[in-house]
Amino acid sequence: MHKYASFSEFYPFYLSEHSKPTTRRLHFAGSSLSLACLVLLVLSGDPWWFVGGLLVGYGFAWFAHFFIEKNKPATFEAPVWSLISDWRMCGLWLTGRLGHELMKHQIRG
């Protein structure tokens, strides 16, 4: 298992592990649904929304890794940096800048 010295070293690896568009779409769906669960948790106070958020967030992502990318989720190697990277990737996708970021790191897919 490789240890990354910094986030800037980890992030290109993270993007390379998400080279297929369907993987990125499933990550975005899982992240969006987990955010909706967080909002529902705050509004209702029901802790089951937290559990639901974890299940949909990780469920969509891990499905994509195991069955589409056929790799191991970066969460297992660097959980905090992986979570930050996921939200960064989603933000870049929402703002239309993800394609440029992928090209910058020479990731095709």
Q: Is the pLDDT of residue 109 over 90?
A: no
Given a contact cutoff of 8 angstroms between Cβ atoms, the answer to whether 60 and 25 are in contact is: no
- Return all residues near 21 (Cβ < 8 A) that are at least 6 apart: 109
pLDDT tens for 2-61 read 788 999 999 999 999 999 999 999 999 999 999 999 999 999 999 999 999 999 999 999
Q: Measured between alpha carbons, how far is 32 from 27 in angstroms, rounded to an integer?
A: 8
Tokens of 8: 């800037």
All structural domains of the chain with their residue ranges? 20-104
CA distances from 46 to 35, 41, 53, 57, 109 (A): 15, 6, 12, 18, 40
Q: At what angle do helices 7-16 and 79-94 cross, to 10 degrees?
A: 70
Which whole-number Å values give the CA distances from 6 to 72, 81, 101, in the listed order? 20, 9, 18
pTM over 0.85: yes
Looking up tokens 């899982």, which residue turns up? 30
Cα–chain center distance at 22: 12
